[in-house]
């Protein structure tokens, strides 16, 4: 029995090393003091972290990603909150079909979805690059908004809403004064998860960007094609910390196990 437990522990350790090993190597190489990315580093330096803020292409692409993610998040919220409320509150024919339709953007492979956006949003409707990015990122954020807010609404007692209406409150007033305050943690968690999905997206963005307009992850790919210094490693470390912080906040707001209930 002890040998079996030791074997299981060894296997678990190997799995963790396989998953975390590349991240640890990238983290270590970000402190390389030389001009070439190498492992193990020959000297310690923070110069490549400073270099991130000196490269104009990164600063411009970062602003683009932030603006697209925030704008798309806002529109996804305006569409997703009513949709999540309707799916959670009302039983109607075809509900499962509509729910599947809203979730479909995360089920379709990103490359296929990105090509479809390129074909119709950019090719057919001739939208400008920024507008196309805005539409595309709204679509990929919407399922996360609906999924998380629906999970939050699953624990909401709708009898409270009915009691408010019985006391004379309007349906719209009840929604804003009773429902929304009780699911605000779910809305914040949805916003953060959707923002991360949008900001880190590559497979959709690579089809939607064009001359002079690029998102941050796509700009990182372009930089790697022309340079082989540890700047990308430094950026990767910062993005890992930002992602970890966002997920920590989601855990504090709702708990990651919360999303497995539905």
pLDDT one-digit tens code per residue, 154-187: 888 888 888 888 888 888 888 888 888 888 888 8
Strand partners, 213: 210
Phi–psi pair at 90, nearest 5 degrees: -115, 135
Question: By mean pLDDT, which of 186-190, 193-197, 226-230, 257-261 is the weakest?
Answer: 257-261
Q: Collapse the DSSP code of 46 into the 3-class scheme (helix H, G, I; strand E, B; otherwise coil) and give the result.
A: coil
Q: Collapse the DSSP code of 25 into the 3-class scheme (helix H, G, I; strand E, B; otherwise coil) and give the result.
A: helix
Contact 59, 257 (CB under 8 A): no
- Structure confidence by residue, pLDDT tens digits, 99-112: 888 888 888 888 88
CATH numbers and ranges of domains, the chain? 4-44 (no CATH), 51-256 (1.10.3720.10)
Give the model's confidence band at 254: pLDDT under 50 very low, under 70 low, under 90 confident, else very high: low
Cα–Cα distance, 163 to 168 (Å, whole number): 9
Query: What is the crossing angle of helices 95-107 and 56-89, to 10°?
Result: 160
Average pLDDT over residues 54-74: 90
Average pLDDT over residues 51-79: 90
Tokens representing 154 are 């699953």
């Amino acid at each position: 029995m002890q040998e079996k437990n030791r074997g299981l522990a060894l296997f678990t350790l190997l799995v963790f090393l396989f998953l975390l090993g590349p991240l640890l190597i990238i983290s270590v190489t970000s402190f390389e003091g030389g001009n070439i990315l190498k492992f193990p580093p020959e000297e310690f330096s923070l110069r490549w972290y400073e270099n991130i803020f000196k490269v104009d292409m990164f600063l411009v692409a970062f602003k683009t990603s932030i603006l697209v993610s925030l704008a798309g998040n806002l529109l996804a919220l305006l569409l997703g909150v009513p949709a999540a409320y309707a799916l959670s509150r009302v039983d109607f024919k075809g509900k499962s079909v509509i729910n599947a339709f809203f979730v479909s953007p995360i089920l379709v492979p990103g490359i296929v979805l990105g090509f479809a956006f390129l074909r119709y949003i950019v090719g057919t409707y001739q939208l400008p690059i920024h507008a196309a990015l805005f539409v595309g990122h709204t679509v990929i954020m919407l399922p996360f908004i609906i999924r998380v807010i629906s999970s939050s609404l699953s624990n909401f007692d709708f009898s409270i809403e009915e009691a408010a209406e019985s006391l004379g409150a309007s349906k719209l007033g009840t929604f804003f004064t009773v429902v929304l305050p009780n699911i605000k943690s779910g809305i914040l968690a949805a916003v953060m998860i959707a923002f991360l999905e949008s900001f880190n997206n590559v497979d959709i963005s690579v089809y939607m960007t064009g001359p002079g307009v690029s998102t941050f992850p796509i700009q990182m790919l372009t930089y790697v094609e022309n340079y082989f210094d540890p700047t990308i490693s430094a950026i990767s470390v910062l993005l890992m910390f930002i992602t970890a912080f966002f997920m920590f906040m989601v855990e504090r707001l709702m708990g990651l196990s919360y999303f497995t209930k539905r």
